[in-house]
Copies of this chain bind each other. A is one copy, B any other.
Amino acid sequence: MGAALTEKQNRVLKFIAQRIWREKGAPTIREIAQHFKFSSTGTVRDYLRVLQKKGYIKLAKKKSRAIELINEKLLQIPVLAQICAGTPTLTYEDIEGYLDLERILFQDDQIFALRVKGESMIEAGIMPDDLVLVRRQLLCENGDVIVAFIDGEATVKYFRQRKNKVFLEPANKGYKPILIDKDTFSVIGKVISVVRRYV
């Protein structure tokens, strides 16, 4: 799809993506120049042309803030409060809030998603093929759902700490908790969300 980027080109692309996802919209050429301390708008335009040629962005002519990311995706979903009360018309007056996943984005790639394999967490509602959103962190608290490396495999489990002993506990009666030697396993991160999609 896209040719390889140099370090600097990648930094420019990342900056644009951040602005598009976190801030209001795409930056102007001069805003990019200011951020990278370029004293010429031509410099930025050269970068944009390269990024476009390599297939990472699309530019529109003579329009302001007209940088479009290839593979850009957006999400905003209204969250309705529980509607069991009984109004048969679902209006947006019932909106409870919004899915706010914006903050977990782009914090230096500290967040990623994993596809779940196996049924060890099935009783916690984490099914095979679900996606878990993982925030990379080394420390975790008792009861957290975490992703850890054991024997070269990434697994999703409960983190349990009892009297100096650390267990990785599945949520499936058919599986047994794993007693862990603190030195031989490593925590990848904490599961902060589960996403499942039906066809």
Contact = CB atoms under 8 A, between A and B. Distances in A.
Interface of A: 20-22, 24-26, 28, 60, 64-68, 71-84, 86, 88, 90, 92, 96, 98-102, 105, 109, 111-117, 122, 124-127, 130-131, 133, 136, 144-145, 149, 152-155, 186, 188, 190-198
A46 B191 CA distance: 46
B196 A114 contact: no
A118 B52 CA distance: 50
B196 A83 contact: no
A28 B60 CA distance: 14
Contact of A101 (B60, B73, B193): B73
A104 B71 CA distance: 16
Nearest to A129: B82
Contact of A65 (B64, B88, B117): B64
Contacts of A122: 125
